[in-house]
Every structure is written in structure tokens, then in C-alpha cells.
Structure 1
Amino acid sequence: MYLLYTVLASLFCFLTLKWLKRRRFCTDSKRLDGKTVLITGGNSGIGKETAVALAMRGARVVIACRDEGRAKKAVGEIKTRSRNVDVFFMELDLANMRSIREFCKAFLQKEKRLDILINNAGMPSVLDWTDDNFSMCFGVNHLGHFLLTNLLLGRLKECAPSRVVTLTCSNYKYQKLDFQDLNYNLFPLFTYCRSKLANIYFTQELARMMEGKGVTAYAVHPGYVHSGWTCHFSILFRMVMQVVMFMFFVPCELGAQSVIHCAVSDEVTGHSGGYFADCQPASLRPFATDAGVARKLWEASERLVRLA
């Protein structure tokens, strides 16, 4: 009898974990031949899986990240898995505004098209600062992508219809923005939540500004993904989180599905400015849909990154 109870309990736990990890796959097989895709942080995790999927559809894929060695290795893997040699690396440090400006200048000189921009790179809740004295989470997750998108917006409009897909997180719901201290960095987890809320406001305001101009924008919660984000923390934390991620988090391939869906599917075009999870529109807390706050954040961000 004890053995039977053990088997049943194990089966229950297994099925529960499977249920927690259930996810939809992007079923749209639309080709992207002749299209150019830029993915920040495309050398690992969700970004790399997204790069593989879009390269398989025939897109020219540019991955932008800091580490040249890891990026070149990732480019080789993406080419092999996708059977597409049109995959390239360009150096970009989202924690440095000068690097972002230099990257955009080089990209615009080299690439004549930009059809899909995927703001994928991100920093977890770390207590650190960017080269421009912004808190690392807010500086990279929001301000870095804000400046990058704005500097490339002209090319996106030239190549319309085009899309901007920005990764966020459902953790946005645990914090609100404080315009007296957008650079808040006292509790890193709070800063992370605020940066993910900023991604949502950014997407909404971008969609509003680009209405009728052929550029659509989407914020995507990829789910809780088993990736390499723990590399920024202690060994003990990493060991504990490896167990937690194995049990409850989904693989990067599954985490990338909603991103791929928003990048390729025609179903999403009527939801510009929307928030997506599990390959479908998802609801937001009322405070995260405030158009006035979204506009105020946009104007504040313009001042912070000195965008003329």
C-alpha cells in the first residue's frame, strides 16, 4: 500500500509540474525572406531561440550583444540549426549610451532594412549601475532599449509594415513608477519590476505615436524561463535556482514562442500596444494601462537619454 501511495504521489507531482509548464507554440509558419531582424541579447536564452526560429523562416538576423566571443559562437550555432548563413553579430552594450549611439550609426550604415526589432536583452534584479549612472535594471531594460528603438525608428518606418517586440515580465504588477526617483535602486527586485512596467508603458506609447505609420509594437511576457540569468548571482543562489527552474520554469524554446508569435503572426496586428503571454493577448492591471503615465514616462526618458 505504501508503494502505491508513493507511486500515486509521484504521478500527481509529475502531472502538476507538466500542467504548470504547459505552453502554446507559435503555429504561424509565415516566411520572412527579404526581411531583416535585429535581436538584442540574441547570443543566449530566449534571444537565441528566437533568432533560430526567425532565421529558419528565411530572415536576415543580426544579434546585438556585448560579448564578442559568445556572440560568434552563437552565430555559428544559429546558422547550423536554421540552415541559414545570413546571421551576423554586431557589438552593443545597452548599459552605455555612447555604445548604443555608435551601434545605431553603424547599423544604419550597414543595413538597408529593419523589419523587426526585438528588444530581448535584459538584466535581472542586481544592485549595480550603468556607465551613465542609471540603475542597471532600469538603465538596460528600459532606457537602453528606449534609446535604441528611437534611433532606429526612422528605418523601421521606411520598411513599414514593421514591428517592435519588447520583452517584459508579469512581475510588473508588484510595483508602480515613482517619477520623483525613476532611477530607484534601493531594492533591486523592486527596480526590476519597475523596469518591466516601464517596458509596457513604452510599448503602449510607441504604438500610439506610430499609429497610421506602419510600425506596430508589442510587449511580451515569455513566462518564467530556465535560462542563464542566474550568472549574475552567487554560486549558492545559482544552485538553489537550478532546482527551482528545473521544476517550475520552461525551456528557452518554449519561452521564445510568444516572441516569435508577435514577430510573425498577422493575428497580432490589430493589437498594437498590447501585452501578450502564451501567444495570445493578456490583460493588464488597470494602473499599467494609464496613457497619461505612459506619455509622462516617454518624456522623462527622452530627457534622461538626452534624445533631441
Structure 2
Amino acid sequence: MYLLYTILASLVCFFFLKWLKKRRTCTDLKRLDGKTVLITGGSSGIGKETAVALALRGARVVIACRDPSRAEKAVREIKFKSHSLNVTHMELDLANLRCVREFCKTFLQREKRLDILINNAAIPGVLDWTDDSFSMCFGVNHLGHFLLTNLLLPRLKECAPSRVITLTCSNYKYQKLDFQDLNYNLLPFFTYCRSKLANIYFSQELGRIMEGKDVTSYAVHPGFVQSSWTCHYSFLFRMLMQVIMWMFFVPCETGAQTVIYCAVSDEAAKHSGGYFVDCRPATLRPFARDSGVAKKLWEASERLVKPV
């Protein structure tokens, strides 16, 4: 009898966890033939799954990664899964603004189109600094993508209608920006939360600036995903998180669904500057909808990276 109760309890727990992780999938089957997609951090996790899905739809996919060897391996896997040969990679280090500028120069020379830019790459809360002396989270997660997007905007406008999708996280709600200390680098979790809030403000302001120019912008929370972000931490922490992620987090393929939705959906295009969760628009906390703060962050970011 004890064994029966144990089995029943295990089954209940299993199905409860399965229900807890249930997410919508993108059902829009739109093709992307003739379109070019650029995905930062596309060598693993959500970025790679997004690359597979969009290559399957006929898009030319360029993944931008810091590690060329990992990128080459990812390109082979993406080609195999998508049955597409129109996938390539370019080297990009978002922690170095000079590298971002060189990347954009090379990309614009090499690629004649850019229809969808997916700002996917991110680093978790680590107490480190970029080559330009910005905190690693703020520098990579926000400033690197801010400069990248601004330098590629002319091509996005040429290829309009086009889209910019920036991945964020629901953890944004635990912090607010401090304009006296945008380079905050004390507590890793809070540093990460601030960078993800910056992603949301960036996406909103980009949507406002591009209004009427047929370039739309979306901030996407993909859910809590079983990705490789724990590689930055100790072995014991990684082991603990592997158990937690298996129980509560969703696979990368599931996490990519809202990104794919925002890349192809006509319905999503009606909500430029919006925040998306689970393949639909979601409501932000009031402080994260402040257009004045979004504009102020944009202007501060311009001063820091000098895009022109």
C-alpha cells in the first residue's frame, strides 16, 4: 500500500510539473523566403532554436557569436535540423564596443538585407566589467545591443517592413533604474534585473522612434528556460540549478516560441514597443511603462556609446 501511495504521489507531482511548464506555441506558419535574420548569441539555447525555426521557414539566418568554434558547430546543427544551407555565422563580442562597430561595418558590406534583428545574447548576473569599463550585464545586455541596433537601423529601414526583437526577463520587476549609477555592479541578481528592465525601455523607445517608418520593436520574456547560463557559476551551483531547471523550467525550443511569434505574426505587428509573454502581449508594471524614463535611458545610452 505504501508503494502504491508513493507511485500515485509521484504521478501527481509529475503531471503537476508538466502542467506548470505548459506554454503556447507559435501557430503562424508564415514563410520568410528572401528575408535575412540576424540573431545574437545564436550558437546555443533559445537563439539556436529560433535560428532553426526561422531557417525552416526559408529565411537566411546569420548567427552572431563571440566564439567562432562554437558558432561553426551550431551552424552545422542548424543546417541539419532545418534542412537549409542558408545559415552562416559572424564573430561578435558585445562586451567590446569597437568589436560591435567592426561587426556592423562588415555585416553591412556583406549582407544586402536585414529584415529581422533578434537581440538574444545575454549574460547572467556576474560581477565583471566589459572592455569599455561598463558593468558586464549592463554593457552586454543593454549597451552592446543598443549600439548594434542603432548602427543597423539604416538597413532595417531600407528593408521595411522589418522587426527588432529584444529578449528580456520578468525579473525586471525587482529593480528600478538609477540614473546616478547606471553602471551598478554590486549584487549580481539586481544587476541582471536592471539590465533586463533597460531592455524593456529600449524596446519601447525604439518602437516610438520608428513609428510610421515600418520598423517595429518587441520585448520578449521567453519564460524560464533550461539554457546554459549556469556555466558562469560554480560546479555545485550548476548541479543544483540543473535539478531546479528540470523541474520547473521549459526546454529551449518552447522558450523560443514567443520570439518566433514576434518575428512572423501580423497580430504582433500591431503592438510595436510591446512586451510579450507566451505568444501574446502582456502587461508591465506601471514603472516599466514610463515613456519619460525610456526616453531618458535612450539619451543616456547615446552619450555612453556614441552611435554616430
**Shorter-chain TM-score category?**
over 0.9
Q: For residue 5 of structure 1, report the CA deviation from its aligned partner.
A: 2.2
Matching of residues 229-268 of structure 1 within 5 Å: 229-268=229-268
Q: For residue 193 of structure 1, report the CA deviation from its aligned partner.
A: 0.1
1:197 aligns to what?
197
Q: For residue 149 of structure 1, report the CA deviation from its aligned partner.
A: 0.2
2:186 aligns to what?
186
Tell me which amino acid in the other structure corresponds to 2:149.
T
- Cα deviation 1:21-44 (Å, max 9, x = unaligned): 101110011000000000000000
Q: For residue 4 of structure 1, report the CA deviation from its aligned partner.
A: 3.1
- Cα deviation 1:93-122 (Å, max 9, x = unaligned): 000000000000000001010000000000
Tell me which amino acid in the other structure corresponds to 2:144.
G
Q: For residue 9 of structure 1, report the CA deviation from its aligned partner.
A: 1.3
- Cα deviation 1:217-241 (Å, max 9, x = unaligned): 0000000000111111111110111
1:209 aligns to what?
209
Tell me which amino acid in the other structure corresponds to 2:72.
K
Tell me which amino acid in the other structure corresponds to 1:143.
L
Matching of residues 153-168 of structure 1 within 5 Å: 153-168=153-168
- Is 2:137 aligned against 1:122? no
Q: Name the CA distance, whole Å, in 2 between partners of 1:35 and 1:15.
A: 40
- Cα deviation 1:255-308 (Å, max 9, x = unaligned): 000000000111101100000011011110000000000000000000111223
How does the TM-score come out when normalised to structure 1? 0.99
- Is 2:272 aligned against 1:272? yes
2:13 aligns to what?
13
- Cα deviation 1:111-150 (Å, max 9, x = unaligned): 0100000000000011111000100011000000000000
- Is 2:260 aligned against 1:298? no
Tell me which amino acid in the other structure corresponds to 1:229.
W
How does the TM-score come out when normalised to structure 2? 0.99
Q: For residue 7 of structure 1, report the CA deviation from its aligned partner.
A: 2.3
* Long gaps (5+) in structure 2: none
Q: Which moved more, 1:137-146 or 1:6-15?
A: 6-15
Q: Name the CA distance, whole Å, in 2 between partners of 1:239 and 1:128.
A: 23
Q: Name the CA distance, whole Å, in 1 between partners of 2:234 and 2:14.
A: 29
1:96 aligns to what?
96
2:151 aligns to what?
151
How many residue pairs get aligned? The number is: 308
Tell me which amino acid in the other structure corresponds to 1:105.
K
- Is 2:40 aligned against 1:53? no
Aligned residue for 1:166, secondary structure, equals strand
1:106 aligns to what?
106
2:37 aligns to what?
37
Q: For residue 19 of structure 1, report the CA deviation from its aligned partner.
A: 1.3
Q: Name the CA distance, whole Å, in 2 between partners of 1:277 and 1:109.
A: 35
Report percent identity of matched pairs: 80
* Long gaps (5+) in structure 1: none
1:63 aligns to what?
63
Q: For residue 20 of structure 1, report the CA deviation from its aligned partner.
A: 1.2
Q: Name the CA distance, whole Å, in 1 between partners of 2:280 and 2:2.
A: 44
Aligned residue for 2:267, secondary structure, equals helix
Q: Name the CA distance, whole Å, in 1 between partners of 2:267 and 2:4.
A: 48
Q: Name the CA distance, whole Å, in 2 between partners of 1:89 and 1:11.
A: 44
Structure 1 runs (4+) greater than 4 angstroms displaced? none
